[in-house]
A and B are shown apart, each in its own frame.
Chain A
């Protein structure tokens, strides 16, 4: 279109009359160009007007995504295959791992491993059920997998209440000093209790004492009985 305009202008430039026509033709062409450009711009398919280098970037992104997904697909396929073919072994191992995890979390069996031991002493105004609850929550946030307080295993349904002499855990009374055994990464757990404004600071400023020991080997012997499911059943 542009070339045509150029060629015709060369011929037409000779007489003033034809030059006028060329001017008109050019303005008409411009009008057509403008409408085409506007229409093209308002088309939804954006990729047609994207430049080459931008297209390359988009393509690279998509290729990377595709590669990641392919790797993921291969992994998942391998798992699927091993579950199908290796029948008993792999499937049983996966199931056993899951059971171990659940035992750890539900507190139905004694466990052992690395962790910390915390000795908390204090009167009711410095150590009470709120302190203990905060401590348990802080420990859980720090990745505690099993918690025991004075021989009582703490699980998700454990509750703490205040009594006149101390606190009660699940309605059994315990008194200061409180010995808390926690399994998990010792450094992380200790840091969680010692952070500014954390449990240790609150207890010591209100007159109690906190002693934290990081241990390489720690046993939690207490457990809770397995409860029968009454109100809910697992969905397969």
Chain B
């Protein structure tokens, strides 16, 4: 529950203060968001399976974001940035779908 409230607060803060992103960071932001969402879905799934560990969540959040940004950065340097970022988004989206399927199954099993 607390993470959901945190998310809502974050959205509100973003709307209110309206920060501008530095130019170099702009291509990485959408990727970072998707990567972080993947970590969040993983955490929800773990929570429902009663194996949630905040240490794992924190590390997966940070590493997901960093690795995704790193891959895109590397792709930009190699000249295949757009393709690689598409690849990263596809993989992360697949993971999110897999996690949400697990979450769904878990919710049904509880009843």
Contacts and interface: CB of A to CB of B under 8 A. Distances in A.
Interface of A: 2, 5-6, 9, 12-13, 16, 19-20, 22-37, 39-41, 48-49, 51-54
A31 B33 CA distance: 9
Contact of B33 (A16, A20, A24, A34): A34
A22 B58 CA distance: 7
Contact of B54 (A23, A29, A31, A53): A23
Contacts of B11: 31-32, 34-35
Interface residues on B, range: 35 or more
A165 to B, nearest CB: 77
Interface stretch (B59-67, B91-99, B101-109): B59-67
Given A27-B3, A28-B7, A34 B81 contact: no
Nearest to A23: B54
Decide if the interface of chain A is mainly helix, strand, loop or mixed: helix
A36 B30 CA distance: 9
A2 B58 contact: no
Contacts of B14: 31-36, 39
B2 interface: yes
B109 to A, nearest CB: 25
Given A23-B3, A23-B57, A48-B23, A31 B62 contact: no
A29 B15 CA distance: 13
Contact of B26 (A13, A34, A49): A49
A24 B8 CA distance: 11
30 contacts: A2-B32, A2-B62, A2-B66, A20-B54, A23-B3, A23-B54, A23-B57, A24-B2, A24-B3, A27-B7, A28-B7, A28-B13, A29-B36, A30-B36, A31-B7, A31-B12, A32-B13, A32-B19, A34-B33, A36-B21, A36-B29, A37-B33, A39-B18, A41-B30, A49-B26, A51-B27, A51-B76, A51-B82, A52-B81, A53-B82
A5 B3 contact: no
Interface string B49-89: 00000110111011001100100000010010110000000
A36 B10 CA distance: 10
